[in-house]
Amino acid sequence: MVSQHPPPPPAGKRRRIAVMTSGGDSPGMNGATRAVVRMAIEKGCEAYCIYEGYEGLVQGGKFIRKMEWSDVRGWLSEGGTLIGTARCMAFYERPGRLRAAKNMILNGIDALVICGGDGSLTGADKFRHEWPGLVDELVSTGELTTEQVEPYRHLNIVGLVGSIDNDMSGTDATIGCFSALGRICEMVDYIEATASSHSRAFVIEVMGRHCGWLALMAGVATGADFVFIPEKPRADNWKEEMCTIVARHRQLGKRKTIVIVAEGAHDQHGNKISPEQIKDLLADKNGLALDTRITTLGHVQRGGTACAYDRYLSTLQGVEAVNAVLDATPTTPTPFIAINENKITRKPLVQAVEDTKEVAKAIEAQDFDRAMSLRDTEFSDYYNSYMTTTTTDLNDAMRLPSKKHMRIAIIHVGAPAGGVNAATRAAVAYCLTRGHTPLAIHNGFAGFARHHGDKPLGAVRPFDWLEVDGWASKGGSEIGMNRELPSESGLDHIAKLFELYKFDGLFIIGGFEGFHALSELRKAREQYPAFCIPMTLLPATISNNVPGTEYSIGSDTCLNELVRYCDTIKQSASASRRRVFVIETQGGRSGYIATLAGLSVGAVAVYTPEEGISIEMLAADIKHLKEVFAQDSGQSRAGRLILINEKASKVYNAKLIADMIREEARDRFESRDSIPGHVQQGGTPSPMDRTRAVRLAIKCIEHLESFEDRSADKIMTDPMSSTVIGIKGASVVFSPMKDVEENETDWANRRPKHEFWMPLKHTVDVLSGRPDVPRPESPLTGWKAKDKKRGLI
């Protein structure tokens, strides 16, 4: 029988794109939904939401709703998924998928963006492959007419991976995983305090049936004593190995013991390793006899609002998903949106799902080398980094011959940034494991220079492992940071000190001042042979403005603090329903923090130094705000925010802009200014900053090691003897300082010449509904022209 529903719109009308969340809920799913809805509307399409996942698709009716721009306002800061998710047994069977196809055609939907795990995405791909047959069956059975189905002969599907386990192959991160990791690290940090107070051991169970990402990364981020993951079970003697490491740590003076175990952990024979087993082993009176407790974190790991990374990751992936739908042809393989290092890409969904399933199969077959190989390179890097930092001074196989041992100086240069201490801890652990002598330089080059003759004043000393072991979760800089450059301290004096302490390598952790310092030392090599040693920089600054990398340690911590601050401010802004807050962000002359925070909180406008501010721009934005409030009846509880970088203008600051808005509002709405200031430097570093700090710091010391047998002449002529490590696109690379100084650095503005995030500014404007406002005259008009040509604007 033919349906009595009205026929769908004929071909040529606006495309209809639907978004759905399926499987479990992950923090960040609301950001993805918001981005898909708004980007679809921006591209001239109609946006729909499928409520309750596949169940809503099968049921149809009220579960398939057209969405308007304002319907998703305020969703970025909400946890869970506001459109719901539910398991649907009916969709597993063909009759259920037939009903789903009919409901989509009746609603005129021919494209579906699904945010879920591998099971949900596998079902989506199967649905797409069956689609032509399902459509034919609907016609042959009289459910629909040929005219009704003709515009919908092809179905486009794009996958977004929402999973706290981070268990999808082909992508470094899935939506929600870093929020869950943040929850775990927060709990472990709390537990560590009571463990240390009572000299206790804690066994902490985290989620991860087939994937140990959460357990491993939590181990790296918190400096746990031992970690159990499904992909890499310990050898048959794991009990002895764990007890040896824990006993060694206790002998060194540690008062706490933390063991993290994934729920899917097992031994090499497939036998489950439970928290109870581990507890009994640690508490055994004939062994370690530790007062031991078990904590199972459970669903607290997937709760709460999304962290900054998951907010902008889900937003950017949602935007890319809509572009992928519009680019697709009937023969395009179903893609999913991935991220590798710092680059968002499209990858074949089927291959990623197959690779993901192969990991589980390899674990079940006890082929653990294959299981690890099927994870991405980053996963293996983190595992090796963790093993290095937890078995410090215990692995004789990693120790180098004494003739290869180096004296490696570690110095912090610049302003404090989250993750600096974690990087130092990892570098010290690696040095001690290899037999090197890690030397702390206190308070930067200013502290280093405070000497009288040949008598040091305690500014340089060897690191002690017990001292640094607790630094994984500490903010700031435990050995002190200073902005002073070598030239300000006196290059001649600094060179003499290098000779006095017989440095064989220098590891700098810091921001643009650290970059500048390394540049000075490199250029001074011809005059001062003491500087002819390998030197490398790990960028660490909340501003993320160091040339040679797209990511600096500390920038993620800053974004998280700023997003939390903005969420709190929004409550005040929403209480009156008619208030705008103008918030000043840090970042120096780089607008990265303001832009990414704007993307993460849905700012109405973002002002950056790269673009500048003009009176015409402000007038257009104020006019836009007037129109927005005129149309807003106050039904939404989400406040409105404007972010301004501290150096966006020499004249227009947060207070002045807020005053201008208030004056022009004529009491129809209010405005306030707010300055979070140094709160943005953060207290406890974010898990991303901690884990990346560990991974990159170890790579830096490995790089310095590669020069241990080079003569001063060879080091002088080798451009790789002075480098900056960084993430560029999909890779971690060491870039020669000489090349970066000359080709990538805007010295006047203390930032890279080409900032990778600049096109994101346009994305912020699009998703906030900001009109095309007049842009001020700026030295950077060139990038706008180029990006317009590339279709980014």
The binding site for beta-D-fructose 2,6-bisphosphate comprises 483, 541-545, 579, 586-588, 646, 672, 678-681, 750
Q: Residue 563 contacts by C-beta under 8 Å, 6 or more apart in sequence?
A: 307, 308, 311, 597, 600, 601
Distance CA 432, CA 439 (A): 11
Residue 513 burial by CB count (10 A; 0-12/13-18/19+): exposed, middle or buried?
buried
| 165 a catalytic residue | yes
For tokens 């207290």, name the residue.
683
Structure tokens given for 274: 């439970």
Task: Answer whether 678's CB lies under 8 Å from 642's CB.
Answer: no
Structure tokens given for 394: 């215990």
Instruction: Report phi then psi at 417, rounded to 5.
Output: -150, 140
Identity of residue 354: E
Q: What does R_g of the chain's alpha carbons equal in angstroms?
A: 28
Distance CA 195, CA 216 (A): 20
3-state SS class at 410: strand
3-state SS class at 593: helix
Cα–Cα nearest to 23, from 70, 73, 85: 85
Residue 408 burial by CB count (10 A; 0-12/13-18/19+): exposed, middle or buried?
buried
Task: Answer whether 128's CB lies under 8 Å from 35's CB.
Answer: no
201: which strand partners? Answer: 257, 292
Out of 25, 110, 125, 165, the active site residue is 165
Distance CA 390, CA 392 (A): 6
Binding-site annotation, residues: 24, 87-88, 117-120, 163-165, 200, 207-209, 263, 293, 299-302, 483, 541-545, 579, 586-588, 646, 672, 678-681, 750
Q: Residue 663 contacts by C-beta under 8 Å, 6 or more apart in sequence?
A: none
Distance CA 743, CA 754 (A): 10
Structure tokens given for 263: 């729920």
For tokens 């709990």, name the residue.
187
Helices marked H in 502-591: 512-523, 555-575
Q: How many residues does the chain have?
A: 793
Binding-site annotation, residues for Mg(2+): 118
Q: Residue 686 contacts by C-beta under 8 Å, 6 or more apart in sequence?
A: 182, 307, 309, 418, 419, 556, 557, 560
Cα–Cα nearest to 37, from 28, 27, 47: 47
Which helix (H) or strand (E) segment holds residue 615: the answer is: helix 615-631
SS (H, E, C) 414-438: CCCCCCHHHHHHHHHHHHHHHCCEE
Binding-site annotation, residues for substrate: 163-165, 200, 207-209, 263, 293, 299-302
Catalytic residue positions, numbered:
165
